[in-house]
Amino acid sequence: MFWNKDIKENILHVIAIVRNRRSFAFKLVALALMSLIAAILQAAGGVIPGIGMLISPFSTAPIIISVLILPSYGLLSYILTIFLLLLIQPSELIVFPFTTGAMAIGIGFGLILFNKAWKVITFSSMFLSIGICLLLYLFQFPVLGPFLIEFRVLNIIIIYLFSLVYCWIWIELVLLLLPKLVNPIKGEK
């Protein structure tokens, strides 16, 4: 069953390949590139109406990869992406730090800290649901449209369940695609 699957065996060798076989300069360039890709993907929601909203959730992936390279690099990539969004598309600046970026940080750190999939999913979904609740109820920014705008316990549960399913999908994608992404790097010396 996926929820109780041990994911450390899939992630540890991928992390070791990237961390140990690459120079400091390579890691910094990768960090900058991941930040740029995340900012461009997130800005697509404001630049290209309609289809851009389908592209912008993919800004999660570069931040997750940055966290897996090194946790401090992941946080730097997150901050750099925020600054790039300030220059590229300021309207997306309020959404990224609290939703997409926060979820990516949660998934990345969850993959490093925990060995069971259900722990990573619940950890990262807490990041996303707290970010959504901050936007909805503290900043009064309707990130989900007019839906769930009132502060009620039922709305918080619905937001957490949405976050749980969304993070589950992202973790499945990461566990499926990350080994395929790193295998070409593995052959290089």
Q: pLDDT tens, 98-144?
A: 999 999 999 999 988 888 888 999 999 999 999 999 999 998 888 87
> What letter represents residue 33's amino acid?
L
d(CA 75, CA 97) in angstroms, rounded, equals: 11
Residue 189: the pLDDT is 46
Contacts of 185 (CB under 8 A, 6+ apart): 17, 18, 21
Full-model pTM: 0.88
Residue 78: the pLDDT is 96
Q: pLDDT tens, 35-80?
A: 999 999 999 988 888 888 889 889 999 999 899 888 898 999 999 9
